[in-house]
A and B are shown apart, each in its own frame.
Chain A
Amino acid sequence: MEAQMKRGFLEACVLAAVSGEESYGYQIVKDVPASMGLTESTLYPLLKRLEKAGCITARSAEHNGRLRRYYRITDAGRERIAEFLAEWPSVQEIYRYVEGAHHDAR
């Protein structure tokens, strides 16, 4: 998948993963569709970026005698998801165009 495109998709996926209940690193990695190939080393910088942008909030809570960091979406984050979803019609239009041109050429 093209790098820029993947970045946008990943951001949307991670926001979606923390949009219901609050979630934590490993759970997010498991929840996001496997085709995204999300790993911790991708997730960590992404979470930092989203937190800094005010799209998610984080808190530490105890779990089995250790601290675990939990993330939750903010209103700004929900807005980003809405923006992402709003792009779908234009993406579809582009796919239809590419598909059509590809068929016609054969």
Chain B
Amino acid sequence: MTRDEFLNRLGELLACLPADQVKETQEFYAEAIADRMEDGMTEAEAVAAMGTPGEVAEATLDELPAVPRAIARTKRKSTALLWALAIVGSPVWIPLLLAFVAVAAAVYICIWVLALCVWIVAAAFGGAGLVGLLFAVDGIIIGHVPYVLASMGMGFASIGVALLTGAGAWTASKQIARLSALWAKKAVSPFWKDQGNKSRMGAEAAPLTA
């Protein structure tokens, strides 16, 4: 196989990827072949050292997240097949996709309802505190000193608790924002991969703990 044959075939096999990624991949292998030829290999030897275009395409597609990879693999076999599967399979994959979105949304809402509960408790204490102070004002109007003191005490105590709970709610919200960001990342991972965080240096520890 010549260099150009190899690169063209690779381009065909990767046609499911964006054009710039295909070009970049072809450039990488063109460089590798040129470097091997500079090192004294013949063109055929250098091309053979790359592996078959099929293997090379497979290795490139392996890096994609699950869903685009499955689409790319099917499309590679035949575009018609992909469309046929998409249409024939629509009674299956559309409800599945909807269910997936619904579950993702439900988990997201559940996470935030927790934070909302704490905020509501804080608001309730705040409200009770204000009413207590209002009672104290009433007490002043009727001139009943013990009632004024008791109401003011209740009011300030409630406001104090509200402030404490509010601070807790704030911290909890920040934590939940972090959690929900993590969850969102997990939810989209079959479709879109944040490659930077996916690859782990400590991979060799994984089989030992698995």
Contacts and interface: CB of A to CB of B under 8 A. Distances in A.
Interface string A69-106: 10000000000110110010011001000000000000
Contacts of A12: 201
A21 interface: no
Contacts of A41: 50-51, 55-56, 59-60
Contacts of A94: 208
The 5 closest A-B pairs by CB, nearest first: A8-B203, A26-B35, A53-B196, A8-B204, A41-B59
Contacts of B203: 4-5, 7-8, 11
A56 B162 CA distance: 50
Size class of the contact patch on chain B: 35 or more
Tell me what chain B mostly uses at the interface: helix, strand, loop, or mixed.
helix
Contacts of B206: 4-5, 8
A39 B49 contact: yes
**A interface, over-half SS:** helix
B27 A67 contact: yes
A60 B32 CA distance: 14
B31 A66 contact: yes
A48 interface: yes
A64 B38 contact: yes
Interface of A: 2, 4-5, 7-9, 11-12, 24-27, 29, 39-42, 44-45, 48-50, 52-54, 64, 66-69, 80-81, 83-84, 87, 90-91, 94
Contacts of B51: 39-41
Contact of B25 (A27, A44, A80, A84): A44
30 contacts: A4-B206, A4-B207, A5-B204, A7-B203, A8-B202, A8-B203, A8-B204, A8-B205, A11-B203, A12-B201, A25-B28, A26-B35, A26-B36, A40-B49, A40-B56, A41-B55, A41-B56, A44-B25, A45-B59, A45-B62, A45-B63, A48-B63, A49-B198, A52-B196, A53-B197, A64-B38, A68-B35, A83-B202, A90-B205, A91-B204
B77 interface: no
